[in-house]
Structure 1
Amino acid sequence: MSQSARTASALTIQAGPRALAHLRQHGLRAQDIALIPGAAGGPKGLILQALDQWLFGHWLPSAPRERMLIGASIGAWRMAAACHADPVAAFQRLGDLYCGQCYPLRPSSAQVSQVAAQLLADFIGGHEAELCSHPYYRLQLLAVRGRQLLAAPRGWLGTGTGFAAAGLANLASRARLAGHLERIVIGDPRDPADWLRQQFDAFETRFVPLTPDNVGAALLASSSLPLMMEPVRQIPHAPAGTYWDGGLIDYHLALPYSRIADQPDGGLVLYPHFTDRVIPGWLDKWLPWRRAGRGDRDRLQRGWLDNVILVSPSPGFVHSLVRHKLPDRKDFTYHGQDHEARIRHWQQAVAEGERLRDALAEFALRPDLDQVLPL
């Protein structure tokens, strides 16, 4: 296989019908991109580092305009990196810090939270104002706030009981999960995010202004997996409560993107993702019938993704990686206390991600619509 063919085969490109029509007429143009989502998924997001550096360090700055960046968990951290004055350096710092995480054999939730808090301090410390005042980007961070048994659970047992109830509710329907969790959008007040304020699912959505004094707590809350980490119990300017990972509701950010499709300066969503599927919530990972766009019993609207271009690693690319998979949290268990081996494998994956960057850059320069699959 030639180098160019190998690069092209690294990337899967999917587009909704409206986005595909736009690509046929105009190709992929930075000036048309209005929104970038970032999915939750922990270490899987590392594979996008080189692509992110190109996207936010080169391609999007070539056509400056107001854009919303919205993310949960590692997706929120990636979008925060993009809002730095030097995004290329910020993504490098985030990748290095994330790969370098080390834990004892059986860490407590307090220990994991302490490591994550220190990682965030090293990542954004001194840059908080940059994230909230970027000249073009409007950062929106997703977290969840507990209700009922999860409003103020006591200890591991209380949290476990609350999430067991939430899991059973979600098995019945996402609408029932809304009785246990509510969506919190901690976002740049310069963008009212009207398309999210109009009711679009069963979850109550609260909006909190993003400020330099709460961005750290918001990023920590957005990534705090229950039982694995402690919840965040206070976010400045947010209502009192108990906050967890935004991916619990918005794992892959199955949001009503089509509401922004009619913007006069282009309303496309470019979604760099680590998989070719959009799974609504973290608890839906084990429910194969629940995928965005299938029009299932939870009425996840097909039209929501009409203006979305989803780019992700191809199956062949993933198979070429160490252990034939993306980095994930199970690697901590697989490698145990051999931290050097895990870090080395993750860094190898980050380096391989340059092929994803090159493939997207080539597509932007010379669009090959035969590569584009329906989303």
Structure 2
Amino acid sequence: MATDWLQVRAGQRAYQHIKEQGLSAADIQLLVGASGGPKWFVLQGLDRYLFGEFFADRQQPLDLLGTSAGAWRFAALGQRDPVAASELFCRLYSTQTYSAKPDVQEITDEARKLLAEYIPDSAVGDILQQDRFRHHWIVARCRGMTAIEGKRQLLGLLASAAANRVKRQWLGKFYERVLFHHPASNATFTQQWNDLPTRYAALSEQNFKQALLATGSIPMVLSGVRDIAGAPAGTYRDGGVTDYHFDLDFGGVDGLVLYPHFHQEVIPGWFDKSIKSRRTTGQHWPNVILLTPTAEFIEALPYKKIPDRTDFAKLDAEQRIQYWQQAVEQGKWMAEQLHEWIATDRIREKVQLWT
């Protein structure tokens, strides 16, 4: 029996739809991408298939929601050649190297260099002038001590983590969710989001790169981005702080939600990693289709794990780059299976109810 490298789980509504009708690009209204740094390398094959084939002939607008690495991945969509852009981002990110002990400034400078090469100014215009792929990025606007740079920021992080542990809603005392959205989108699918203070700002040629850099600006690792054009004044950091893997109300989405994810678990916010009771499931998301690597896929990877940021410290540059590129290549196995299952309609038998 052939090995399944891909697991397809779906909430009740999405599960019923696939069982009865299969799956087509027209069924999807929202594509979701999570934070997670290098973990996304195993998804690059799926991105290549989705960007280059599955959604290639789509005419109606597709909403995109991302934080951090998810937002950066999706910035390939709307460019003239999204597959080439995705592969460029993957190559630039996977081959990054730093000094033996890089500081915040060095890491921030490297991120800015990567962004400039991945998304030239002409690409920003292309993305904003089309409306088939409508970007929505979440960025965390800091309050109080979380806005401070340097070691004192840690006090703000500890206080916000403690508040979040008591009640997730208390995270709003330290961070405000800001949704940067494509100018052609009115972001109506987000109107039910009332778990945290939420503001909106339209993406523009003036703030596109600022907002994208900000949504990947990990606290204590990269500098925050200050005073983004067209948004409230302040310091902005990684959108994963508030929305790591998401626990948002998708009831306002008119259609199904496709979520290629690197992890079997869906963790709401950055500070929820160790709080096992906080996990999002298909019971919360009846219209979501979750695509994840199987245990067999992970077992077949070098080191029997998906890439993560600790690889920078644990492996030398040559070992790390080789490992990450192997993860990218192996990720194509999942893409090939998804393509085959959709084309042959086997997706109906492969989908599992996500409870």
User: What amino acid is aligned across from residue 237 of structure 2 in structure 1?
Assistant: W
Cα deviation for residue 342 of structure 1 reads 0.8
Residue equivalent to 2:273: 285
- Match for 1:134 among 108, 130, 142? 130
Cα deviation for residue 289 of structure 1 reads 1.1
Give the whole-Å Cα distance in 2 for the aligned partners of 1:69 and 1:133. 16
Cα deviation for residue 10 of structure 1 reads 0.3
- Match for 1:273 among 241, 245, 261? 261
Give the whole-Å Cα distance in 1 for the aligned partners of 2:44 and 2:72. 12
Contact persistence 1:76–1:219 (CA under 8 A):
yes
When the two structures are superposed, what TM-score results if normalisation uses the length of structure 1? 0.91
Structure 2's unaligned 5+ residue stretches are none
Residue equivalent to 2:298: 318
- Match for 1:29 among 16, 24, 41? 24
Query: Deviation string for 1:342-366 (max 9, x for gaps)?
Result: 1111011101111010011112112
Residue equivalent to 1:372: 351
Give the whole-Å Cα distance in 1 for the aligned partners of 2:151 and 2:317. 30
Please identify, of 239-248 and 127-136, the stretch whose mean Cα deviation from structure 2 is larger: 127-136
Which residues of 2 match residues 1-375 of structure 1 at below 5 A? Answer: 5-6=2-3, 9-125=4-120, 126-150=122-146, 152-153=147-148, 155-201=149-195, 203-260=196-253, 263=254, 267-293=255-281, 302-303=283-284, 305-335=285-315, 338-368=316-346, 369-375=348-354
The percent of aligned pairs where both chains have the same amino acid is 39
Contact persistence 2:34–2:244 (CA under 8 A):
yes
Give the whole-Å Cα distance in 2 for the aligned partners of 1:105 and 1:49. 28
Give the whole-Å Cα distance in 1 for the aligned partners of 2:103 and 2:274. 25
Contact persistence 1:12–1:313 (CA under 8 A):
yes
Counterpart secondary structure, 1:200: coil
Cα deviation for residue 323 of structure 1 reads 0.3
Cα deviation for residue 128 of structure 1 reads 0.9
Contact persistence 2:10–2:290 (CA under 8 A):
yes
Contact persistence 2:140–2:177 (CA under 8 A):
yes
When the two structures are superposed, what TM-score results if normalisation uses the length of structure 2? 0.96
Give the whole-Å Cα distance in 1 for the aligned partners of 2:332 and 2:115. 25
Contact persistence 1:37–1:253 (CA under 8 A):
no
User: What amino acid is aligned across from residue 138 of structure 1 in structure 2?
Assistant: R
Counterpart secondary structure, 1:68: strand
Aligned length: 352
Contact persistence 1:14–1:373 (CA under 8 A):
yes
Give the whole-Å Cα distance in 1 for the aligned partners of 2:41 and 2:129. 25
User: What amino acid is aligned across from residue 350 of structure 2 in structure 1?
Assistant: Q
Cα 1:21/1:99, change in 2 over 3 Å:
same
Give the whole-Å Cα distance in 2 for the aligned partners of 1:169 and 1:181. 11
Give the whole-Å Cα distance in 2 for the aligned partners of 1:44 and 1:54. 18
Give the whole-Å Cα distance in 2 for the aligned partners of 1:321 and 1:216. 33
Please identify, of 365-374 and 185-194, the stretch whose mean Cα deviation from structure 2 is larger: 365-374
Over the aligned positions, Cα root-mean-square deviation in angstroms equals 1.4
Cα deviation for residue 127 of structure 1 reads 0.8
User: What amino acid is aligned across from residue 41 of structure 1 in structure 2?
Assistant: G
Cα deviation for residue 30 of structure 1 reads 0.9
Query: Deviation string for 1:120-154 (max 9, x for gaps)?
Result: 1110013111222223110111110011222x42x
Counterpart secondary structure, 1:259: coil
Contact persistence 1:197–1:205 (CA under 8 A):
no
Counterpart secondary structure, 2:152: helix
Query: Deviation string for 1:254-297 (max 9, x for gaps)?
Result: 2211222xx3xxx0111111112211001111111110149xxx
